[in-house]
Structure 1
């Protein structure tokens, strides 16, 4: 099916005029959101701002313009899917109220994502990467996951990213997975 061209489509000459305006010395470092109003101040209207962007993109010129930093491209975070027990675990440390106001205990908890089984837990009076590391080691041995690849997901807390924990996970062949920052 052939679709007719819109009546208001810019001609090749009009597209060339937009590119000439964008590439002139006065506007070469400005984005279309600033070029269009400046042209309007001069009494010239070539096309809408969105048409400027569309024409620049079609001509391969839609790159970063202006003094602001260009956007940083980040790769999407890895996601892991558990298809059986002992493939993906998650763990965290949470506060538990103590018997006296202002006193807290720390619950260290490891859960298997697939079976939702609690594979390890301990309660301590302080938060420590050594205690967390020992709990991970103990849970891996008890569950018999030492020979299988295991992914351990955690947030970005200091015990989770500590050198002691990273070393333990490396020795046990565990792949670390962390939540994205500020989420």
Structure 2
């Protein structure tokens, strides 16, 4: 189940179960498979000698380089609310502006 977050106590229990299965003779890959995690996930969880917490919630996620500036966003909103465009979808607004030689942003930004 790709992408799900598993809390530290559940990770610790999973690691304990996998270790017990391996000590009893099971392969690590098979033991991991039974708990629906990959052996790579097991290695990542245990690589520093203890069970690691999920780092995704606290990961730094920088803004995309092409993020609209506040002024650009305001210009889009102003344009979309003009009488000539307020009833049109972006797929018609952007080409209509292009016909006038105006480019504010892409259709997806609108």
Larger radius of gyration, structure 1 or 2?
1
Greater relative contact order (CA < 8 Å, ≥ 6 in sequence): 2
Higher strand share: 1
TM-score range, shorter chain: 0.3 to 0.5
TM-score w.r.t. length of structure 2: 0.45
Higher helix share: 2
TM-score w.r.t. length of structure 1: 0.28
